[in-house]
Chains A and B, each alone.
Chain A
Amino acid sequence: MEKFYDIIHQAFDSIRSQKLRAFFTLLSIAIGVFAITFSGSLTNSIDSTVNAQIESLGRYTFFITKVPAIQMGGNDWFKYRNRPEISYRQYLDLQEKTEDYAVVTGSAKSTGFTVKFGDLETDPDVTLVGTDHNFFLTSDLEISNGRALLQSDIEFNKNFAIVGNDILVKIFPNNPDVIGKEIKIDNKPFTIIGTLKPKGALLGQSQDNIIIIPLSQFLTKFSSQWEQDVVLIVKANNPVEFSYILDETIGQMRIIRNLKPWQDNNFEVQTNESLSDQFGSLTGYLTYFGVFSGIIALIAAGVGITNIMLITVKERTREIGIRKAVGAKKRLIVLQFVSETIVLTLLGGLFGTIFGVVVGGGLGIFVGTSFTISVKWVLISLTISVLLGLASGVFPAYKAASLDPVDALRYE
């Protein structure tokens, strides 16, 4: 133990004495480790937030859509594109046929609208959601003032709007009393019947720059005849029979879309599980990318460290000569230089890890995901740092240990 302590102490001594060189070495390792920890922490943050988000929609809810939420690879694109849209009629049919065991919400969404009140108007970036009276049962949006949509609003195609906070701030800067006011969405008049509780941002995007109107209004006024695609959100009434309800609903949907028994579904069914799986594979790619670039950076750092240690050995030839003259065995010299390298890489790794966790987590906060410290990634990074020190320190250390003491003592 005595010797071990001495060696660590010597390692710190020689790092202190060569601050600039140590700094650059630390930097290169820090960058590599940063890439790994950063991507690990970031994807961790995204994962947990997305999962929480999906979870908040309710465990017994699933989606029926024309195309999958996330598409990877280009091969299926044409297959999805040529599917018929899910129409308003199909939405009503499904709602009616499943009313005994499920609540079906239709929703359609588009973005880039301008909202006006008097002289004030928003940027053309408002998201418009057309939906129905069931929407608030299946979404985590809440009404703060006024009321939600009623079934009659949809049936009678009322031009009513429930307005998000971002829009209120812009067009009603000083007026808290907005219920009953008439606004214009892309110059079409709507009456405000309610306001939404602010939700903040997710993944860097505000969730409050939104207006909710009846689905029938959305389809007739804001989407062309050929793209009347409705997303169906189905919530099972009885959680215990969820899988049965899922099958039953799919069966009804096939009937509604006139599919023959031998034909594949021409729509996507996404449960929370399948959604989080898809997100999982997306963040998985992110992680691989981070780890891959981190490893490249670390290999470069490793080569750099080996080089720096070789120079260090050369510069300290005399010192090595002295140590050998007073009785240092080969393996102690090896141990000394390897541990110096490891102390160096571990310090770099530590800085990189701290950076990675702070920046990764900080970016997580910035884009609205939660801050999570990934212990797994911290441990992986530190282990990699030690292995890197070992790998890049061994060769210079052996070179040092095999110096001839007589020559080393005379080295100028």
Chain B
Amino acid sequence: MNNQKLILTEHLSKIYKMESTIVAALQDINISIDYNEYVSIMGPSGSGKTTLMSILGCLDSPSSGSFYLDGVDVSGLDDDDLAVIRNHKIGFVFQTFNLMPRANCIKNVELPLIYAGVPADERHERAIKALQNVGLGDRMYHKPTELSGGQRQRVAIARALVNNPSLIFADEPTGNLDTKTGEEIMKLFADLWRNGNSIILVTHEEDIAKHAKRIIKLRDGLVIDDNINPTPIYI
């Protein structure tokens, strides 16, 4: 399987049934993403980019069409199977960081490893390593509330990386950060890509999208543009 793709979707669609109306959030999406790609999914709010990320991130299932992740058809899997796939293959970084406020950084980063059944000692070691890799070696025992926005996002990135996923999703990762801190985070993503990670960046900002090597544009649930970005920033 030389030509196996990291992500391959065929006629993927997602339809929400409201009380009286039917909303097609995604229609006939056909995307193929290779290993170690750095892709932006871009579009205004309501374009379906978050729905797409939810499905590609195995948080949600498509209404129709098929979706292969790592060569495995995941479109028909149940919640628990999807949970296992998220645990092993996907790391999430969110706009609002989504850290557990009462747990310190190590505990936060350890969380995916707990559900992966990693023994406590190894968990602790790997969490420390992940935090050191994002430059937070001296803040490991702090709680998220004691950290700046940029530092919080680094904790979230460490958590996303700790279980060595095939794919990292970043949903508006700079949305809650000032420009300077945002740039630092984007540099970090560029480093991650250089180290062999596959990254999908979801954003509505052109400036942020331009950090990726390929930009997929969505509008009204349809892919309207899918092109290589000739001038990715930091790369």
Contacts and interface: CB of A to CB of B under 8 A. Distances in A.
A3 B114 contact: yes
Given A326-B159, A327-B112, A328-B83, A409 B60 contact: no
Given A323-B111, A327-B88, A328-B115, A13 B103 contact: yes
A17 B98 contact: no
A22 B55 CA distance: 38
B103 A326 contact: no
Interface stretch (A82-90, A93-101, A314-322): A314-322
A228 B159 CA distance: 91
Given A406-B54, A406-B59, A409-B94, A324 B83 contact: yes
B230 interface: no
Interface residues on A, range: 20 to 34
B72 interface: no
Contacts of A14: 102
B83 A321 contact: no
B59 A325 contact: yes
Contacts of B111: 322-323, 326
B84 A327 contact: yes
Interface in A372-407: 404-406
A6 interface: yes
A2 interface: yes
A122 B112 CA distance: 80
Interface string A324-341: 111111111000000000
Contact of A319 (B57, B59, B60, B100): B100
Interface string A2-28: 110110000001100100000000000
Interface residues on B, range: 20 to 34
Contacts of B57: 325
A279 B151 CA distance: 71
A409 B84 contact: no
Contacts of A328: 83, 115
A interface: dominant SS:
helix
A325 B57 CA distance: 9
Nearest to B50: A406
B114 A6 contact: yes
Contacts of B88: 327
A409 B87 CA distance: 16
Interface stretch (B63-71, B116-124, B211-219): B116-124
Interface in B8-66: 50, 54, 57, 59-60
Contacts of A331: 80
Nearest to A328: B115
B100 A327 contact: no
Contacts of B119: 2
Contacts of B205: none
Contacts of A6: 114, 120
Contacts of B206: none
Nearest to B60: A406
Interface in A59-97: none
Contacts of B83: 324, 327-330
| 5 interchain residue pairs of minimum CB distance | A327-B87, A326-B112, A327-B115, A329-B80, A329-B83
Interface of B: 50, 54, 57, 59-60, 79-80, 83-84, 86-88, 92, 94, 98-100, 102-103, 111-112, 114-117, 119-120, 159, 163
Given A2-B120, A5-B120, A327-B84, 5 more contacts: A319-B100, A322-B98, A325-B59, A325-B92, A326-B111
27 contacts: A2-B117, A3-B114, A5-B120, A6-B120, A13-B102, A13-B103, A321-B98, A322-B111, A324-B59, A325-B57, A325-B98, A326-B87, A326-B111, A326-B115, A327-B83, A327-B84, A327-B86, A327-B87, A327-B163, A328-B83, A329-B84, A330-B83, A331-B80, A405-B59, A409-B59, A409-B94, A409-B98
